[in-house]
Structure 1
């Protein structure tokens, strides 16, 4: 299942899949356009990939989630050609917001780990 249209994700060539129920995945292959001067994936790019997955997980047919905070730890570099998967899941469901964990991996190896929170609002018809 593909998530709702996200123009920014499209610009970065990030595909959102498995969207719904407090879970989403974002997938992208690192290209030359995503690199920093060291030749590895830019931290802002990795942050964006994690944020795209988190935002998709926070939104579904019933709820409109507004992300209010994201914290990320960069664990290892990603290089051109690396196929990244960012998996976001609800870790805690509070009265009015959800807390998420996002793992960005390449071939099962952790590249970055993010936590975030999103205000949960009932979606209006």
Structure 2
């Protein structure tokens, strides 16, 4: 697996593990702990959004392209609980002239249940040696 060129400090802070798999495809994984829970004892929606966002950002900033995420729509489909291992997989769904559209699925590893589904868009430009 190829890891992203730039560190995602926010993802690191939350405990999200991010990997760029190949051009336009990435994963982000996390095990939900007590710091990630809302008052209902389920994973906070902002946490789920952050895992999805980390995968999307890594997919948009792979070894070939660099991009800025300009929009995300997320649907929360089922709750996640303390101890659940979650993995988000971001994949390019459409290549447009100057941007890509992505599909991201956030899944509970233990049973394959889809926790959230998102779509996102990001600008696309070819990475150069000068691009950080």
Alignment TM-score, normalising by the size of structure 2? 0.91
Using the alignment, how far apart are the partners of 1:62 and 1:110 within structure 2? 29
Give the deviation of 1:20 after TM superposition: 2.9
| Runs of at least 5 residues in structure 2 that lack an aligned partner in the other structure | none
Residue matched to 2:37: 35
The answer for the alignment partner of 2:64 in structure 1 is 62
Q: Which runs of 5+ in 1 are unaligned?
A: none
Measured against aligned partners, the alpha-carbon deviations of 1:46-91 in whole angstroms (never above 9, x if no partner) come to 0000000000001122211110000000000000000000000000
Q: Which protein is richer in strand relative to its size?
A: 1
Whether the 8 Å contact between 2:20 and 2:62 is mirrored in structure 1 is no
Does residue 22 of the first structure (1) align with residue 24 of the second (2)?
yes
Say whether 1:81 aligns with 2:103: no
Using the TM superposition, give the Cα deviation of residue 32 of structure 1 relative to its aligned residue in structure 2, in angstroms: 0.5
What is the alpha-carbon root mean square deviation over aligned residues? Answer: 1.0
Aligned residues: 125
Q: Select 2:51's aligned residue among 49, 52, 61.
A: 49
Stretches (4+) displaced over 3 A: none
SS class of match (1:8):
helix
